[in-house]
Amino acid sequence: MENKGNHMSRTDKAVQLTKPGTTDMKIGIIGAGAIGSAFARALARVGIGADISNSRGPASLASLVQEIGPTARAVEPAEAARADIVLVAVNWSKLPAALASLPEWAGRIVIDANNPLVVEGDQLKRVDLNGRLSSEVFSELAPGARVVKAFNHLPAASLSGDPKHEGGRRVLFFSGDDAEAKSQVGALIGRLGFFGIDLGPLSTGARLAQPGGPLAALNLVKFD
């Protein structure tokens, strides 16, 4: 697979995610549904700690944390939001409430893994955002955060499973407007064993990878 787009770059090397003088960064997760849980399992596979939270409280996550193992910890959303990097993956209709009572982001990196989808009857339908990007809406709900769009275009099973496939690595797209934040998320993607492709700023990349975009649900493998 070649990268020919002007705005796309690749992250094919795992970078050590640490702060000077400390051990590995702690990752916070807000939303313990399919994507949030899959992300926690992927982190555990490479020994990265995760603070997992949901709207029902830490006690409701006891079985999940026990399954994942010692790298996972169940916490309140406000505590998860204080991590070095925070992934948010909640139902679109519940997103405003999930983000409303959290501490100020103060420049922390927030991964937007959400898609504007709602369940109507037995069908999953896209929410009409009147031409706006879902990450634009998300960014307004998380003022002060350095938003990176990632982990939203593959099914949960592909995120939690082995990223190696038939001699290659599964591709994960990411995009954002802050270069340092994208570098950190790209390094995380690489450390998890995936092949990261930087799609550029949110105005370009988020549109490509959100539902209705040409890269949504695209499951690619990069062969070295």
Amino acid 22: pLDDT: 34
Query: Residue 191 and residue 169: Cα distance in Å, rounded?
Result: 12
Mean pLDDT for each 10-residue chunk of the chain (224 residues)?
42 39 72 97 96 97 97 97 96 94 95 89 80 92 97 93 91 97 97 97 92 87 88
Q: Examine residue 107 and state whether it is found in any structural domain, yes or no.
A: yes
Q: Is 127 domain-assigned?
A: yes
- Provide the pLDDT for residue 129: 82
- Find the length of the chain: 224
3-state class (DSSP) for residue 78: helix
- pLDDT value of position 131: 82
pLDDT at 24: 63
> Which pLDDT belongs to residue 224?
79
pLDDT computed for residue 166 by the predictor: 85
pLDDT at 169: 96
Residue 146 corresponds to which tokens in the numbers above?
């350095």
Domain-embedded: residue 1: no
Residue 25 CA to its chain's centroid (Å): 15
Which residues touch 130 (CB under 8 Å, ≥6 apart)? none
pLDDT (0 to 100) of residue 60: 98
Which residues contact residue 180 at a Cβ distance below 8 angstroms, ignoring those fewer than 6 apart? 146
**Residue at 99 is within a domain:** yes
The DSSP 8-state label assigned to residue 59 in this structure reads G
Full domain range(s) for residue 101: 9-223
Cα dihedral 48→220→124→90 (10° resolution) = 20
Within a domain: 194: yes
pLDDT of residue 44: 96
What is the C-alpha separation between 129 and 73, in angstroms, rounded?
A: 35
Using DSSP's 3-state secondary structure scheme, residue 1 falls into: coil
Q: Is residue 4 part of a domain?
A: no
Closest CA to 203 of 155, 131, 118: 131
CATH of the domain at 81: 3.40.50.720
Q: Tell if the pTM clears 0.75, that is, is over it.
A: yes
Amino acid symbol at 162:
D
Residue 2 within any structural domain of the chain: no
Number of domains making up the chain: 1
